[in-house]
Structure 1
Amino acid sequence: MYTPTAFDQNDLATLHRQIAEARLATVVSQGPDGLQASHLPLLLVAEEGEFGTLYGHFARANPQWRALAAAGETLVICNGPDAYVSPSWYPAKAEHGKVVPTWNYIAVHAYGQAEVFDDAERLLDLVGRLSERHEAGRAQPWSVGEAPRDYIDAMLRAIVGFALPIRRLEGKWKLGQNRSAADQAGARAGLSASPDARDRELAARMSAPA
């Protein structure tokens, strides 16, 4: 990922937090038929100070998993909020007019060699933990144990899990850090006033410390 120094984010806790907040990741690998990509919810397991391991599962009918373990490297993309930035928000526009549009965004790229597995108990543990994570906070959270075991067993046979120990992490926080303080404030104000919740989310991230 092309990352100018001003946008580089290498704080491990911040990168982990963004992976968790991304919810849906893009898993990209090279197979015999070329590049393949799937959009999957993932679970990050990491000890303090470690890159950690990403876990997820494919539908067994998805051919990507068959080439995943043989791939030299797999890329996982976890995107954060993003927004168009209008040059009209910059005070510099009135001063000299030398401004152009841009796009601000947050992204994390994780790289590693994946291992695939279809052991039923390991898959059950994975889907249980994923469900617990995404059901958390609901008034009546659903759990895997509520479904009939024979039904769950059939569902487990229809998926293949994978573990991807992270070997390399890249973070890009393109939030206008290369602009003057006045221009950054103008962009934040413009995005904060937007009717689009995604714009306002990015404005909040521009206001918060990295």
Structure 2
Amino acid sequence: MYIPPYYENKDIDQIRQFLRENSFGILVNVVDNKPWGTHIPLELEQDLNGADVLVGHIAKANPQWRYFSDNAEVLCIFNGPHAYVSSSWYKEEEVPTWNYIAVHVYGTLKVLSEEETMACMFRLVDKYEAGSKNPINLKNMSPKTLRQVKGVVGFQIQITDIQATYKLSQTRQADHAKIISELKERNDPGSQAIADHMNQ
């Protein structure tokens, strides 16, 4: 991804936190000579050696998995908040722009066994049920229901490169206070979140 140097984020701890909070991403590989993307949860975990990996699964009905091969390189795209920035907020004339946070993760993919896939699903459900009023637990589900795991393909992605863009008006320091103030006056979550990130 193209990243001007002043928007590049290399703070790996901050990026890890972003990936944990924005784990619904897009898995991209090549299917029949065309780019193919699937929108799925891609969870940041660590392998047995302590290295960062992404873990996920897709339906076997999705032809994308038929083009998975061990050590095939894939791209995972994660989007954070974004907001339109009006140049009417600047002290000097300039074109308007868009502030946003996005992370691209490259890696090599390995297909998981059915047992490994099931273990990943247990962790996924436990993570997202933690805040539920009446959390479910896969341990309490019948073997018949859990057989649905046979309809998915689990995978692990060994991360080889991370590219992170945090475009937060870094080149307009003199206008920061005004941009933040104007964004805060908007009701949409993207504007509010971008203002918070700019404040940090």
User: What TM bracket, shorter-length normalisation?
Assistant: over 0.9
Answering whether residue 161 of structure 2 is matched by residue 159 of structure 1, we say no
Q: Counterpart of 2:78 in structure 1: which amino acid?
A: C
Shift of 1:51: 5.6
Aligned to 2:171: 178
Aligned to 1:99: 94
Q: Counterpart of 1:184 in structure 2: which amino acid?
A: H
Give structure 1 stretches of 5+ with no counterpart: 93-97
Counting aligned pairs with the same residue, the percent is: 34
Q: Distance in 1 between matches of 2:122 and 2:2?
A: 36
Report the aligned-residue RMSD. Answer: 1.6
Structure with the higher fraction of residues in strand conformation: 2
Aligned to 2:55: 55
Aligned to 1:64: 64
Relative to the length of structure 1, the TM-score reads: 0.89
Q: Distance in 2 between matches of 1:158 and 1:149?
A: 14
Answering whether residue 164 of structure 2 is matched by residue 199 of structure 1, we say no
Q: Secondary structure at the match of 2:170?
A: coil
Shift of 1:83: 0.6
Shift of 1:72: 4.0
Is the Cα–Cα contact under 8 Å of residues 129 and 135 in structure 2 kept in the other structure?
yes
Quick one: which of 114, 124, 133 aligns to 1:130?
124
Aligned to 1:114: 109
Relative to the length of structure 2, the TM-score reads: 0.93
Answering whether residue 42 of structure 2 is matched by residue 42 of structure 1, we say yes
Q: Distance in 1 between matches of 2:71 and 2:62?
A: 16
Cα offsets for 1:153-210 (capped at 9, x unmatched): 1x1111000110000111110000011x2312211111111011221111111111xx
Q: Counterpart of 1:200 in structure 2: which amino acid?
A: Q
Cα offsets for 1:48-99 (capped at 9, x unmatched): xx7610000000100111112268420001111001111111222xxxxx21
Aligned residues: 198
Aligned to 1:95: none
Shift of 1:5: 1.1
